[in-house]
Amino acid sequence: MTAEEDALFGLPYAPPDATVPYGPHPSQVVDLHLPAGPPAGIRVTLLHGGFWREAYDRRHLAPLAAALAAEGVEVALAEYRRVGTGGGGGWPQTYEDAVRATAVRAAGVRTTATRSSSSPTRHVLVGHSAGGHLALCAASGTAGVDAVIAAAPVADLARARELGLSGGAVEEFLGGGDHPEADPALRGPARVPVTILHGTADPDVPLELSRSYAAAAGSKVTLRVLPDTGHYAAVTPGTAAYGALLTALGLC
């Protein structure tokens, strides 16, 4: 593990206010983290990474979800079917789950008198790593969001496949086939504003993948390069790179 990975995975787990299913599979659930104070007028659907593999689940982004809720954001931390024994994932099932999960919100869920006191006005899809890949795919589709933020995303699937990232994770995700529709860099222009946060020192997903996507996906894409930043800092509360995420969300 890198120091950044240790820092994120070492944070204490933050339990959700509620968990809502959106399908029959055990992984088709969303954890809701609701603001305890005045709402910020933003709803975030959060997609975790882990190279689409069953071994990695949403729990490691629970501290991020709780931190955003503390900023007044209504957060839906989504799980989705992944690749591996019993996971039921791969293309297109994993992407279909990500899109379905964006429709889940906290309507009817109340834990205190102050929570969800007004309806959020802006819905942002935030994805990290493989979750960033799914979010970027949604940016060129009809995911029903106002904006997308992708942190250290697997933004160019063809290049990631050539590089053999994470021991052939792309091959596993695609089932060995060719699926250009699964590649954000080949899906056409983004339909909503997209902000990409990517560090120059990312050892897991090279910055070149985000540069390639930004060049292909059109004028709605903003690439913010984070100097001396690795793979996990942008989704780790308290880091300077996390401040960049808050800025992208319009919270500071």
pLDDT tens per residue, range 180-196? 999 999 999 999 999 99
Distance CA 13, CA 179 (A): 36
Rounded to whole angstroms, what are the CA distances from 109 to 43, 113, 125? 14, 11, 20
**Which pLDDT belongs to residue 26?**
97
Q: How many angstroms separate the CA atoms of 144 and 201, rounded? A: 33
Residue 184 is classified by DSSP as G
**Residue predicted with more confidence, 61 or 141:** 61
Give the pLDDT confidence score for residue 83 in this predicted structure. Answer: 98
Residue with structure tokens 């056409």? 188
Q: What pLDDT, in 10s, does the model give residues 213-251?
A: 999 999 999 999 999 999 999 999 999 999 999 999 999
Give me the domain span that covers residue 129: 3-249
Tokens of 30: 């969303």
Domain count, the chain: 1
- CA 119/CA 150 separation, integer angstroms: 24
The angle, 0 to 180 degrees and rounded to 10, between the axes of the packed helices 130-139 and 93-101 is 70
pLDDT at 113: 35
How high is the pLDDT of residue 1?
73
Q: Are 141 and 184 in contact (CB under 8 A)?
A: no
Look up the CATH number of the domain holding residue 188: 3.40.50.1820
pLDDT above 90 coverage of the chain, percent? 88
Q: How confident is the model at residue 60 (pLDDT cuts 50, 70, 90)?
A: very high
Q: What is the rounded distance in angstroms from the CA atom of residue 123 to the CA atom of residue 229?
A: 27
pTM: 0.95
pLDDT in tens, 82-140: 999 999 999 999 999 999 999 888 765 654 434 444 556 899 999 999 999 999 999 99
Cα separation, 40 vs 174, in Å, equals: 38
Mean predicted lDDT score pLDDT of the chain: 93
Sheet holding 18-21, edge to edge: 18-21, 29-33, 74-78, 42-47, 122-128, 147-151, 194-199, 221-226
